[in-house]
Amino acid sequence: MDKTNPMRHLDKLGIPYEVVHTEGDFVNGMDIAKVNNQDPSRVFKSLMTVGSPKCYYCFLVPVTGDLDLKKAAASVGEKSVSMLKQDQLLPLMGYVHGGCSPLCTKRPVRITIDETAKDADHMYFSAGKVGYQMKVSVADLPRMMDFQFADVRKPLNQ
């Protein structure tokens, strides 16, 4: 497989990572975690949002939950945030649905990682291509991106 921009970014910084490739059509991250024998609380989805005009945010939440838009907005000082539409992802972020990474986006984004990652030793997130994840050490996160931890998740289907 050719390296993705997020992989090249970590290579350039000398940050170790492990690539996990998953073949097939999956409905959600819980299915992917199960197939790969991963703890789903350590598998994070990258959700791209917009607040005030042209203010973009990426929220990483575990696949065991959903993004709470009210908590998300409060965490970044916005009145509200809304999910980017699928047809906006590629032109604005450079990624397609199911392959969004918080790293190397086309437009600058503020990154918030759900606080459940804070005490973990590692986490998985998209490597920038559908079917590819990166396993990284949580301790290395400050070297690879500017971000904040915040409580931004809600239980699934709430």
CATH number, position 13: 3.90.960.10
Percent of the chain topping pLDDT 70: 92
Contact between 61 and 67 (Cβ < 8 Å) = yes
pLDDT, position 152: 98
Range 8-17 contact pairs with CB under 8 angstroms and sequence separation of 24 or more: 9/103, 9/104, 9/144, 10/103, 10/134, 10/136, 10/144, 13/143, 13/144, 15/136, 15/140, 15/143, 15/144, 16/136, 16/137, 16/140, 17/134, 17/135, 17/136
pLDDT at 68 over 90: yes
C-beta atoms surrounding 15 within 10 Å: 15
- Looking at per-residue pLDDT, the higher value among 30 and 60 belongs to 60
pLDDT, position 131: 85
pLDDT at 64 over 80: yes
pLDDT at 31 over 80: no
* H or E segment to which residue 114 belongs: strand 110-114
pLDDT at 158 over 70: no
pLDDT, position 74: 98
Contact between 34 and 26 (Cβ < 8 Å) = no
pLDDT, position 30: 63
Which range has the worst mean pLDDT, 38-47, 55-64, 105-114, 145-154? 38-47
pLDDT, position 33: 63
pTM given for the model: 0.92
Domain containing 143: what range? 5-155
pLDDT, position 145: 97
What values do phi and psi take at 60, rounded to 5?
-105, 115
- Looking at per-residue pLDDT, the higher value among 51 and 24 belongs to 51
pLDDT, position 39: 79
**Would you state the structure tokens that stand for residue 22, as one six-digit string?**
């998953």
**How many folded domains does the chain comprise?**
1
pLDDT, position 66: 94
